[in-house]
Chain A
Amino acid sequence: MSALYEVRGLRVDVPLGGGLLSAVLPGGKKTLNILDGVDLTLQPGETLGVVGESGSGKTTLARAMLGLTPAAGALRFQGRDLAASDLRRGTAMMFQDPVSSLSPRMRVGDQVVEPFTIHGIPMAERTPAAELLSRVGLPPEMAARYPHELSGGQARRVCVARALALNPALVIADEPTAGLDMSIQGEVLNLLSALKRDRGIGFMVISHNLPVIRHAADRIAILYLGRLVETGPTAEVFARPAHPYTASLIAAEPNPDPRKRRADLAIQGEIPSLLRRPTGCPFHTRCPIAVPDCARRPPALTAFGPDRRVACHLATP
């Protein structure tokens, strides 16, 4: 079974400053490195959770995978290079803020069917807006509304409806539960898992919310400052984290059970700025088990058990 999406050695740099002259004058353009050395594989019908905090590059990863940001490295969708593949029709993205990802002066009904218009699908083959909306549990009257008239939850569903219009093979969801009340975040997640079950859609869910990832993702990949630190099946990684950062993240999650209060914190310090990237391992400045070598050599992503990888000098299976 060929992979749905393969990422090998992804590297993304963004230009800093500049203007007409700086491109021409000697000295060249300064760049900021956002991601490097990212290897991922997504199987069809699987949900990959990408976990990271600010500066991890998780949103840039999604953009690079969708060809929205220039990137170096190998990106293959359904076995083909991005340019040669059916990327636009085969993938869809759901953004973090659903209301702002809808065009403000266009009606909801027009927006959910816009993918058909963009790809010139003949009218006979189009799914009507009302049906697209009902797939996500919204009444047909919603089609006449404008984005600013929707609540966050409704807008999110509209974005799902739009993402599904062309029956994509892969949907990338950036923080799908952000801003939603706990009692209804299940609605979005249940919707996504129903779609996965019924239509075999592969998902990549980006989130910093660990409990949500634990329920939604089959496998997870953890990013820190633009580097992959750990990958593996979700349940295993949560039960036995291999990387100190993963362990810190899991430990840092506040526990609602007052009888299980943490006595102390495993993690100190702040996430370093991307402009002043630490040498060697990016996590060594905050790592409770760091040794001098960690500041000298960046660790490579190596195998850790049958289906797991970790980037740490000190991780032993």
Chain B
Amino acid sequence: MSSVADVAVPPVARAASAGALGRLMSDPMGAAGAIIVVAFVLLALFAPWIAPYDPLKLDVLNKLQSPSLAHLAGTDQLGRDTLSRLIWGSRTALGISLTATGVAGAIGLVLGLIAGYGPRWLDGVLVLVFDSLSSLPMILFALAVITVLGPGTTTLILVIVLVSIPGYARLIRAQTLTLKTADFVQAERSMGASVPRILGRHLLPNVVGPLVIVLSMDVPVVIMLEAGLSYLNLGVRPPTPSWGNILYDGYNSLRQQPTLVIEAGVPLVLSTIGFTFLGEGLRDALDPRLQVRPR
């Protein structure tokens, strides 16, 4: 059999995902976001080795110092080194936000796939559940749960997960519904592929892209939420460092040491920028329309 009489195919990137990474890093915004996020992750992972001091060590005699060579960010009202607390705070921030969005995303993915692909009655029931959950205002719901279960990291994560699931599930459901009638899904059915195989091997890789982008953009929202609740003393309990309770302490000491408030704000702003840029960059990098098809 002669070789295919087709138009000469220009060389194309090997794998779709390898191409996406390349595209992400060549976009200035995406690359900047990726670098910032990676920096924060490293900071969180290696906090014990990077932080100059023990964040819990009290040194009341040296309280509320301005930034100096000994304490690059100064000290707080109990003499603890602010820089070390900020670095350890990234553990809290990222730990909670990544866990919460990750768990919510995973559950939303599964529920969305089931709702989109399964029988219509099941879809109807699930959509009812999603609508009910998302009609709860997040802060009030958080306050209610915290009142019952007491403040703390686990409660916080539980609240965020419950409130975030419907949004992700709906997104995945919409994508799944669209792909359900696609030719390749029909082809898999005609070959006898089982439902789990179709969902896991064929639908999941094609719907997960937009979800990853949304998750990335939601991480800073959760960071802010955690910071806000911690500021209200409803989140992470002191003395565990959190950017939110550092902000609270800074606000209380505003007259004596105004730098604390600004310093607490810096990582909040930076992490928000980093994750948002990463999300935008991912969206452009994963856009299938930018992939060239040979004619």
Interface residues of A (CB under 8 A from B): 18-20, 23, 63, 66, 68, 87-89, 91-93, 95-97, 99-106, 114-115, 118-119, 136-139, 144-146, 148-154, 157, 159, 162, 183-184, 187, 191
- Decide yes or no: A149 and B294 within 8 Å by CB, A93-B190, A144-B14, A184-B5 being known contacts: yes
Q: Can you list 6 residue pairs at the A/B interface with Cβ under 8 Å?
A: A20-B121, A93-B190, A103-B202, A118-B197, A137-B1, A183-B5
> Could you tell me if A187 and B183 are in contact, using CB atoms closer than 8 angstroms?
no
- Decide yes or no: A101 and B183 within 8 Å by CB, A88-B192, A118-B192, A151-B6 being known contacts: yes
Q: How far is the CB of B200 from chain A (nearest CB, A)?
A: 12
A93 to B184, CA, bound (A): 11
- Decide yes or no: A101 and B186 within 8 Å by CB, A92-B191, A153-B6 being known contacts: yes
Query: Which of B1, B6, B16, B191 lies at the interface centre, i.e. has the most chain A CB atoms within 10 A of its CB?
Result: B191
Taking a contact as CB atoms closer than 8 A, the residue among B120, B187, B201, B288 that contacts A101 in the complex is B187
Chain B residues with CB under 8 Å of A148's CB are 16, 288, 291, 293
Interface residues of B (CB under 8 A from A): 1-7, 9, 12, 14-16, 120-121, 124, 182-184, 186-194, 197, 201-202, 205-206, 288, 291, 293-295
> Could you tell me if A139 and B3 are in contact, using CB atoms closer than 8 angstroms?
yes
A23 to B189, CA, bound (A): 26
Given contacts A19-B120, A88-B190, A184-B5, 11 further A-B contacts (CB under 8 A): A20-B124, A66-B190, A68-B190, A100-B182, A100-B184, A106-B201, A139-B3, A146-B15, A149-B293, A152-B6, A183-B5
A95 to B1, CA, bound (A): 23
> Could you tell me if A149 and B184 are in contact, using CB atoms closer than 8 angstroms?
no
A114 to B198, CA, bound (A): 12
Taking a contact as CB atoms closer than 8 A, the residue among B9, B121, B205, B295 that contacts A105 in the complex is B205
Q: Who on chain A is nearest to B209 by CB?
A: A105
> Could you tell me if B193 and A104 are in contact, using CB atoms closer than 8 angstroms?
no
- Decide yes or no: A97 and B206 within 8 Å by CB, A103-B188, A148-B291 being known contacts: no
Chain A residues with CB under 8 Å of B7's CB are 151
Chain A residues with CB under 8 Å of B191's CB are 88, 92, 114-115, 118, 162
Chain A residues with CB under 8 Å of B3's CB are 137, 139
Q: Who on chain B is nearest to A137 by CB?
A: B1
A151 to B10, CA, bound (A): 11
- Decide yes or no: A157 and B288 within 8 Å by CB, A20-B120, A88-B191, A118-B191 being known contacts: no
Chain B residues with CB under 8 Å of A137's CB are 1-4
A103 to B4, CA, bound (A): 22
- Decide yes or no: A68 and B16 within 8 Å by CB, A20-B120, A101-B184 being known contacts: no
Query: Which of B124, B183, B189, B190 lies at the interface centre, i.e. has the most chain A CB atoms within 10 A of its CB?
Result: B190
- Decide yes or no: A157 and B201 within 8 Å by CB, A103-B184, A151-B294 being known contacts: no
> Could you tell me if B186 and A149 are in contact, using CB atoms closer than 8 angstroms?
no
> Could you tell me if B192 and A89 are in contact, using CB atoms closer than 8 angstroms?
yes
Taking a contact as CB atoms closer than 8 A, the residue among A18, A91, A136, A151 that contacts B295 in the complex is A151
> Could you tell me if B184 and A102 are in contact, using CB atoms closer than 8 angstroms?
yes
> Could you tell me if B4 and A68 are in contact, using CB atoms closer than 8 angstroms?
no
Chain A residues with CB under 8 Å of B288's CB are 104, 148
- Decide yes or no: A151 and B5 within 8 Å by CB, A93-B187, A105-B16, A115-B191 being known contacts: no
A102 to B205, CA, bound (A): 13
Query: Which of B124, B187, B194 lies at the interface centre, i.e. has the most chain A CB atoms within 10 A of its CB?
Result: B187
Chain A residues with CB under 8 Å of B206's CB are 103-105
Q: How far is the CB of A60 from chain B (nearest CB, A)?
A: 12
A252 to B124, CA, bound (A): 48
Q: Who on chain B is nearest to A20 by CB?
A: B124
- Decide yes or no: A95 and B187 within 8 Å by CB, A104-B288, A157-B4 being known contacts: yes
> Could you tell me if B5 and A153 are in contact, using CB atoms closer than 8 angstroms?
yes
A68 to B120, CA, bound (A): 17
> Could you tell me if A138 and B202 are in contact, using CB atoms closer than 8 angstroms?
no
A20 to B119, CA, bound (A): 11
Chain A residues with CB under 8 Å of B184's CB are 100-104
> Could you tell me if A154 and B6 are in contact, using CB atoms closer than 8 angstroms?
yes
A144 to B194, CA, bound (A): 25
Chain B residues with CB under 8 Å of A139's CB are 3
Chain A residues with CB under 8 Å of B12's CB are 145, 149
Chain B residues with CB under 8 Å of A106's CB are 201-202, 205
A63 to B124, CA, bound (A): 26
A155 to B175, CA, bound (A): 24
4 shortest interchain CB distances as A-B pairs:
A88-B192, A137-B1, A20-B124, A101-B183
- Decide yes or no: A92 and B190 within 8 Å by CB, A100-B183, A137-B2, A146-B15 being known contacts: yes
Q: Who on chain B is nearest to A147 by CB?
A: B184
Q: How far is the CB of B4 from chain A (nearest CB, A)?
A: 6
A23 to B150, CA, bound (A): 45
A20 to B124, CA, bound (A): 6
A96 to B186, CA, bound (A): 12
Q: How far is the CB of B23 from chain A (nearest CB, A)?
A: 15
A184 to B182, CA, bound (A): 27
Chain A residues with CB under 8 Å of B187's CB are 93, 95, 101-102, 159
A155 to B51, CA, bound (A): 56
A150 to B16, CA, bound (A): 13
